[in-house]
Chain A
Amino acid sequence: MEIIQYLGGALLIMGSLSLLIASIGLIRMPDVYNRVQTGTKASTLGAILSFLGVGLLSIENWSETNWIGRVIILIIFIIITNPVSSHILMRAAYVMKIPFTIDTKVDKLKEDIENKVLEEPKDE
Chain B
Amino acid sequence: MKIKNLSVSFIIIMAAWLLLNWSFQVEIVLIGLILSLLLSLLFCSKCQLFSELKLTPKAFAYTLIYIFVFLIELVKANIDVTKRILSPNLPINPGVVKVETTLNSKMARLILANSITLTPGTFTIEIHDNALYIHWIDVKNSDVTEATEILARKFETYLKEIYD
| A interface, CB within 8 angstroms of B | 18, 21, 24-25, 28-30, 33-34, 36-38, 41-42, 44-45, 66-70, 72-73, 79-80, 82-84, 86-87, 90-91, 94, 100-101, 103-110, 112, 118, 121
Question: What are 21 residue pairs bridging A and B, where the CB atoms are less than 8 Å apart in the complex?
Answer: A18-B82, A24-B86, A25-B85, A36-B123, A37-B120, A38-B85, A45-B75, A66-B22, A69-B21, A70-B19, A83-B117, A87-B125, A101-B94, A104-B96, A105-B93, A107-B96, A108-B98, A108-B133, A108-B142, A109-B125, A121-B126
A42 near B120: Cβ-Cβ < 8 Å: yes
A105 near B142: Cβ-Cβ < 8 Å: yes
> By DSSP majority rule, is chain B's interface helix, strand, loop, or mixed?
mixed
Partner of B98, one of A24, A38, A103, A112: A112
Which residues of chain B from 109 to 141 have any CB-CB distance to chain A below 8 Å in the complex? 113-114, 117-121, 123-126, 128, 131, 133, 135, 137, 139
- Give a binary string over B77-91; 1 marks a CB under 8 Å from any A CB, 0 the rest: 010011001100010
B18 at the interface (CB under 8 A from A): yes
Q: B119 → chain A, closest Cβ, in Å?
A: 8
A84 near B133: Cβ-Cβ < 8 Å: no
Q: A35 → chain B, closest Cβ, in Å?
A: 11
B128 near A118: Cβ-Cβ < 8 Å: yes
Total A-B residue contacts, Cβ distance less than 8 Å: 126
- Number of residues from B at the complex interface, CB < 8 A: 40
A91 in contact with B126 given A38-B120, A42-B82, A69-B22 (CB within 8 Å):
yes
B85 near A106: Cβ-Cβ < 8 Å: no
Task: Give the residues in chain A near B123, CB-CB below 8 Å.
Answer: 33, 36-37, 41, 86-87, 90
B152 at the interface (CB under 8 A from A): no
Task: Give the residues in chain A near B119, CB-CB below 8 Å.
Answer: 41
